[in-house]
């Protein structure tokens, strides 16, 4: 199990940091504790946002990668320190790595009470909205008279103190396992709350329009004064007119669909009549919530798919659509992000890969041969024949005595069926 320890001080010598280092060394056979410093974390100032700065992001990554956290707090004027409070402000301002994280509080002070009031204050902060840590209840470890508690090698002197600390830590490790198991079960069901009805609001949402209106595009154009025609648009790597953008997107040899972070269907490259499309789309559907763009039976699968991308479990997954062999449609779902890495919606692109496969086979002189032992989701043609010979391009048909390469791990996928890319309501 991996824990991180943070002492709420920026002083060069700290008994609370010494306590954490003792725990990391003495209990190394039970748990891996990495002690983090906060000297470089700036004083919290909302007007000077340092959330993306290296010190804050370093703490965020370390906390997210740990199973639990141990916070050691001194006591200053009956409360935790300004340094600890500042760190927690950064970790609950725009980022929330402590949310749901198991946290244990310990503390050392010069006097008999052993930072008891600071620990109570810190517990209140950790349980406040925005921080939302799962604080280990009871089992307080209060190290008083700390000047005399350690020997010259920075080890605790008193065996009873060590025994109590060991007992408390073991209980915390059980608490960590329990909380993380509970969080995993909750996360597994998070997809059920995915709002396919687009009832929320994102920065690019056009308010005040009926999403189901057949002329939503016209209404949205009027309300936003959207440009069209030969008006130029500055892109990341180019300048094009709106007409040129349409030419460019409509010429793509695949069907493209854009769904925003609010699960509203905003765009598709209108290439042909809906009946001739692999994922049927119609102009009147643009603007709809995506729950209106799929059969009712597919809604749970779509929620899973969106949640997998929104939660960052993967940025891309692929779904083959079974057919009679006349085509081989692949549905790709690509998560999109803004310049700061925030989820911005889904680019769904559908491509018939059969013409590409046929071209490659013709180019290399290879052919698909049915595997008598297994079939794939598209054509069942995957096994090499015994007399296959390698070509001069890739050698893909060559028989060798070498063991097959280990199958790569698959990205997370929803439990989808072959209708998940459909758009008509049933």
> 193 lies in a domain?
no
Q: Report yes or no: 101 and 133 within 8 Å, Cβ to Cβ.
A: yes
Are both 35 and 160 inside the same structural domain?
Answer: yes
Q: Domain count of the chain?
A: 2
Domain final position from 292, 321, 352: 352
Are both 184 and 240 inside the same structural domain?
Answer: no
> 208 lies in a domain?
no
Whether the pLDDT of residue 219 is over 60: the answer is: yes
Residues in the chain: 426
Whether the pLDDT of residue 393 is over 90: the answer is: no
Residue 35 lies in domain: 2-188
Instruction: Work out the average pLDDT over 248-259.
Output: 93
Q: Which residue has the tokens 């830590």?
A: 169
Are both 106 and 51 inside the same structural domain?
Answer: yes
Q: pTM for the complete prediction?
A: 0.51
Are both 180 and 237 inside the same structural domain?
Answer: no
- CATH number, residue 324: 3.30.450.20
> 402 lies in a domain?
no
Are both 175 and 221 inside the same structural domain?
Answer: no
- CATH number, residue 58: 3.40.50.360
Are both 245 and 304 inside the same structural domain?
Answer: yes
Q: Report CA-CA distances (Å) from 135 to 75, 131, 157, 296.
A: 18, 11, 28, 41
Are both 102 and 41 inside the same structural domain?
Answer: yes
Helix, strand, coil percentages (3-state) for the chain, rounded to 5, are: 30, 20, 50
Instruction: Work out the average pLDDT over 51-75.
Output: 94
102-108 and 134-135 strand pairing: parallel
Question: How high is the mean pLDDT of the chain?
Answer: 85
Q: Report yes or no: 284 and 270 within 8 Å, Cβ to Cβ.
A: no
pLDDT tens, position by position, 341-372: 889 999 999 999 999 999 999 999 998 888 77
The Cα 256–Cα 250 span in angstroms is: 9
Phi, psi (degrees; rounded to nearest 5) at 353: -85, -5
> 11 lies in a domain?
yes
**H or E stretch at 352:** strand 343-352
Are both 184 and 220 inside the same structural domain?
Answer: no
Q: Which residues contact 403 (CB under 8 A, 6 or more apart)?
A: none
Are both 38 and 152 inside the same structural domain?
Answer: yes
Q: Report CA-CA distances (Å) from 345 to 235, 236, 320, 418.
A: 18, 18, 21, 22
CA proximity to 88, closest of 49, 50, 26, 130? 130
**H or E stretch at 71:** strand 68-72
> 377 lies in a domain?
no
Are both 264 and 222 inside the same structural domain?
Answer: yes
The Cα 400–Cα 384 span in angstroms is: 11
CA proximity to 36, closest of 26, 25, 21? 21
Whether the pLDDT of residue 33 is over 90: the answer is: yes
Phi, psi (degrees; rounded to nearest 5) at 344: -125, 10
> 367 lies in a domain?
no
pLDDT tens, position by position, 166-208: 999 999 999 999 999 888 776 666 778 889 999 988 989 999 9
- Residue 414 pLDDT: 62
- Residue 392 pLDDT: 42
The Cα 167–Cα 139 span in angstroms is: 9
DSSP symbol at 296? G
329-337 and 316-320 strand pairing: antiparallel
Domain final position from 138, 170, 188: 188
Domain final position from 287, 318, 352: 352
Are both 158 and 87 inside the same structural domain?
Answer: yes
Are both 135 and 225 inside the same structural domain?
Answer: no
């Amino acid at each position: 199990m991996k824990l991180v320890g943070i002492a709420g001080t920026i002083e060069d010598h700290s008994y609370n940091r010494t306590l954490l280092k003792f725990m990391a060394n003495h209990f190394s056979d039970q748990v891996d504790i990495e002690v983090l410093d906060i000297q470089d974390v700036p004083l919290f100032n909302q007007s000077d946002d340092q959330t993306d700065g290296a010190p804050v992001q370093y703490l965020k990554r370390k906390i997210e990668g740990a199973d639990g956290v141990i916070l050691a707090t001194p006591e200053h004027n009956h409360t935790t320190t300004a340094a600890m409070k500042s760190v927690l402000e950064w970790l609950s301002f725009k980022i929330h790595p402590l949310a749901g994280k198991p946290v244990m509080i310990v503390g050392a002070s010069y006097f008999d009470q052993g930072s008891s009031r600071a620990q109570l204050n810190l517990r209140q902060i950790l349980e406040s909205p925005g921080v939302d840590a799962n604080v280990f209840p009871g089992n307080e470890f209060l190290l008083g008279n700390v000047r005399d508690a350690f020997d010259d090698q920075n080890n605790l002197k008193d065996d009873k103190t060590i025994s109590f600390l060991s007992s408390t830590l073991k209980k915390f490790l059980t608490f960590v396992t329990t909380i993380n198991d509970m969080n995993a079960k909750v996360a597994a069901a998070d997809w059920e709350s995915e709002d396919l009805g687009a009832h929320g609001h994102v920065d690019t949402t056009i308010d005040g329009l009926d999403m189901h209106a057949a002329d939503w595009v016209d209404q949205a154009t009027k309300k936003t004064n959207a440009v069209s025609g030969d008006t130029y648009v500055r892109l990341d790597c180019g300048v094009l007119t709106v007409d040129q953008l349409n030419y460019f997107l409509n010429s793509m040899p695949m069907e493209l669909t854009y769904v925003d972070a609010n699960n509203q269907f905003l765009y598709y490259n209108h290439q042909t009549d809906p009946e001739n499309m692999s994922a049927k789309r119609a102009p009147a559907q643009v603007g709809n919530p995506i729950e209106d763009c799929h059969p009712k039976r597919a809604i749970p699968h779509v929620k899973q798919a969106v949640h997998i991308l929104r939660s960052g479990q993967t940025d891309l997954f692929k779904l083959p659509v079974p057919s009679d062999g006349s085509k081989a449609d692949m549905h790709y779902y690509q998560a999109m992000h803004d310049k700061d890495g925030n989820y911005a919606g889904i680019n769904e692109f559908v491509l018939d890969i059969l013409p590409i496969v046929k071209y490659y086979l013709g180019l290399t002189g290879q052919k698909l041969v049915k595997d008598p032992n297994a079939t794939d989701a598209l054509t069942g043609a995957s096994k090499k024949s015994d007399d296959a010979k390698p070509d001069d391009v890739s050698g893909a048909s060559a028989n060798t005595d070498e063991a097959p390469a280990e199958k790569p791990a698959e990205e997370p996928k929803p439990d989808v069926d072959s209708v998940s890319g459909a758009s008509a309501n049933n």
